[in-house]
Structure 1
Amino acid sequence: MRTIDETDSYATDTNALLIAEGAPRDAVEALRLAGVRLRSQADFAGAGAYLDAPALDLVLIEAAGAPAGLLDEILARADAVARRQHTSILVAMTAGQLDSAIHLLGPHSHLLCEPNLAERLSAIALARAAVRHRGVATLHDVSREAESVRLQRLNEEVARIAETLARLTRGEDGERHGVRDPGNQYRGPADDAPAETSAHEIRAVIRARRMRAQIFDADLFADPAWDMLLDLFAARLEQRLVSVSSLCIAAAVPPTTALRWIGTMHDNGLFERQADPSDRRRAYIGLSPKGADGMRAYISAVKRAGLALV
């Protein structure tokens, strides 16, 4: 656990805390290449003392090698800090740690699964864009500006693009996306009658979608949001709890992409955390009442029209 000396830092507009076990070379290199000032570094046992530090813009958590109990505790604390101070949280985790992502589903979190250097750099650019979106002033080290002006301009372009992507992904363009309000739509006399469905029927739709992916390139039809909605709706009918790792598999996309979509759906009120009734320390992911109502309304509308679920 240590504070990074200013002479070792890379002066930009973003102060970062790195939480990791050992010496995470990829994380340090990504921060250096992105021009982010590494203000402090701590292991998981000592990270709590640094999380509430003022003027902290980015918390980068390298979960690999973290003690299991401490990982969940630090992620939950980081989420609380993000919600309170609007700090950007970036977590790189292994495939075996995906279920811990349940602690970080807020709009200020960026979750990566076994990322390479390029993926880390892209996520840091998104985090920096979020800092600028909050109105944080940009500061430059005058002694280095002459030699780094081209890099700074490149960073500005990356951040501008990343900010646009962040708004589109998180729904921060002034509009909350989710289930449309049906209040202004035409409703016939039988429109309020819900159509019956079963978990078996929904699972058959999911199987048909997976069969399509066996014949055509899966990237042509990637639709992780809908795949996850179908899976969670079937699980709701089955009265079954779904873990984050299981939902990532159901999304049929790389884990990092699935995690991003889980966060987006949670931000828009369609997904929610669900506590394990037998162990309050555990949590799962499920449809919110809004998401469940939307799925029932969709299925009823499709069946009334005589169409097949897809």
Structure 2
Amino acid sequence: MMLAGHCVWSVEGVILNADQGFLDLLQRPVDEVIGVSYRQITDARDLDRSADMLAALKDGAAPVRLQKRYLRPDGSSVAASLLVTRFDNPDRLISTLFWHENGRPLPPARLWEAALRIRHVHDARVSLFGADLSSDPVGSLLIGIYLAEAEGRVIRLVDIATYANIPLSVSERWIKVLQQRGVLEDRDAKAEITFTQSGSNKVEAMLATVYEAPGSTAIIFDSHDQGNSSFW
């Protein structure tokens, strides 16, 4: 099963906040994580690449993707794939991490690219055929929420309604249905919208079919556009 976690860093690479998923990845309690530099928890083999990633994340830069190994207290390393985005006011970095507990590297960048591909196809459909012939509210909601989580953004009802280009009342109704089906966390629709673990697994299984389909080819990003795609 794929696991996920999130972490907030200073632009110098010091951990400011972390969720339980990130603590589980490191197998450390919160008091051994907050205030720690990335250098203290990164496998020595990946220190240079981590430093390069920080240097690439200048103000306004595109998100950077990286696969790296983290150190656990017993001296073992666990491989994780992460997407790091820089935000301002206040200036900080937000990481979304994915890993298998057995340490097998995962390709979250491909899942992210698959979500972007679906979004671009939908945008083209709207442009060519019009919004009235391109309605897919549930699909748009799922892709919008997934992209927000993958890119480390907080998304709420008003944001997802704007993204999906559907009325607020319609978005709220579908959000409640997805909560009832166990796809989204059951909370006030006006609060942050997040997947349950089951919902995340299902969406990622759906996105994986984009790459498993016959004749499917991966999207190739220019390294200038994506910060440092050479890590992949």
The two structures have a TM-score, normalised by structure 1, of: 0.32
Q: Choose 1 or 2 for highest CA Rg.
A: 1
Compare the two structures and name the one with the higher helix fraction. 1
Query: TM-score with structure 2 length normalisation?
Result: 0.41
